[in-house]
Amino acid sequence: MNERRLPPVQQLGVVSMILTIVSVIWLASYIPKHPPLTVSVVLMILAGVVMATNLTMLSRVQEFAWPTFRAVAGWTLVAYIVIAGMLEFVFLYDHVRGAVLLLMTLSLVSFAVNVPLLLGFGVARYQ
Amino acid sequence: MDSTAVAPPVAAATRPALPIPASIVPLRGLPVVGVVIAALIAAIATNKPWALNFFHVAGGGAWTALDLFLGLILGPVVRSLAPPARAEFTARYMPKMLLIMPTLVTMTLGSGFQLARHFDFLNTAYPRHGYIVASMIVVGVMAVIALGVLQPAGVAVLYELRKPQPNVELVGHLMKRYMYSAGITGVMQVATLVIMTRLPT
C-alpha cells in the first residue's frame, strides 16, 4: 500500500479539534452564567499551537500531492467558511459578546482550518 | 500479399471492472440538501416547536439508525467481502453517504440546540443539565471521529476509485477504517439514545 513517512498531520489535527471541542463544551455548559474563561483560554491556546505546528510540519513535506491537497482542502474550506459564517451570525444574533464571543470565534477558526487540513491530507497522502 | 506488417494490438492496462463515481459529491442530490437546509433555517428562525421537533426527531432517528446499521450490521458484511466486491459496493455507496450524513447531522444538531434553548434545557438551573452536557460530550467525540477519520477515509476512497487504475487493496483498507469508525459512532449513538430518553422522563 502507498503508505509513506509523513508527519503525524492526522493525529495532530484530531488533538487540536479535541482541545477546541472541550473548550466549546466548557463554555456551553455554563449558559446562561458567565463561565470562568481561564480553562477555555488555555485550551484554545494549546489548540492553536498544535494547529500551527501541524501546518508547519506539513508545509515542509517535499514530495506530496499538493494539487490534490489544495483541491480537497480548498473546497472543504469554502464549505466551512459558509458554516462558520452562519454560526458566527447565530452567536451575534444571540447577543454573545466580549471574551466569550472571541473564544467562540477562535473555535470556529480552528474548525475551519483543521477540518480542511484533515480532509485534504487524508486524500492527498494516498496519491 | 500485403507486406505491410500490422502490429498486434497492445494489451492495454485494463481497469478493474468497478463503477467510476461520476463526481466526488453527487451533484444531483445538492438541490435536495439545499431544500432541507433552507427548511431547517426556517424552522429555527420561526422557532416553531413542532418544526424543530420534526427536524430533531427525524434527523436524529435516521442518523442513529444509519450509524447502528452501518457499524453493526453492514460493516461486518462488507469486511467479509472480497476486495473487488468491497470496492464495487463502495463506489456506489460512498457518494450518497457524503451528502446524507452531513445533512442528517446538521438537521439534528441545529434543531436540537434550538429546542434545548427553547425549553431552557441549556440553563444550568435545569435539573438534568448534566445530561445535556453529557450529550454535548458524546456529540463532540462523534464529531472528532467523523471529521478526523470517517470523512477523510470516505473522500480518499472516492478519489482512488476515479483513478484509471484504482488500488483495490487500498480501497478495502480505507473502507475497513470507515466501517470500524462507523461502528464506534454507532455504539456512541446508544449513549445518545440513553441521554435523550432520560431528558423528558
**Average pLDDT, integer, range B110-130:** 86
Q: Cα(B71)–Cα(A52) distance, rounded to whole angstroms?
A: 34
**Average pLDDT, integer, range B160-166:** 84
Q: Cα(B87)–Cα(B175) distance, rounded to whole angstroms?
A: 8
pLDDT of residue B17: 64
Q: Cα(B150)–Cα(B84) distance, rounded to whole angstroms?
A: 21
pLDDT of residue B160: 87
Q: Is A51 exposed, middle or buried (0-12, 13-18, 19+ CB in 10 A)?
A: buried
Q: What residues in A contact B133, CB-CB < 8 Å?
A: 25, 28-29
pLDDT of residue A9: 93
Per residue in B17-38, pLDDT (tens digit) is: 666 777 788 888 999 999 999 9
Interface touch B147/A127, C-beta < 8 Å: no
More confident of the two residues B176 and A2? B176
Minimum-distance CB partner of B151 among A68, A114, A119: A119
Residue A3 pLDDT > 70, yes or no?
Answer: no
pLDDT of residue A14: 93
What dihedral do alpha carbons B186, B190, B192, B197 form, nearest 10°? Answer: 150
Interface touch B148/A13, C-beta < 8 Å: yes
Chain B residues with a Cβ under 8 Å from any Cβ in chain A: 122-124, 129, 132-133, 136-137, 140, 143-144, 147-149, 151-153, 155-156, 159-160, 167, 169-170, 173-174
Interface touch A115/B147, C-beta < 8 Å: yes
Q: What residues in A contact B136, CB-CB < 8 Å?
A: 25, 28-29
Per residue in B148-158, pLDDT (tens digit) is: 888 888 889 88
Tell me the C-alpha to C-alpha distance, in Å, between residue B21 and each of A74, A94, B159.
21, 42, 9
Q: What residues in A contact B160, CB-CB < 8 Å?
A: 126
What interface predicted TM-score (ipTM) does this complex get? 0.82
Q: Cα(A34)–Cα(B113) distance, rounded to whole angstroms?
A: 19
Q: Is B120 left (phi over 0), alpha (psi -120 to 50) or beta?
A: left
Lowest model confidence (mean pLDDT) among B3-17, B51-65, B130-144, B171-185: B3-17
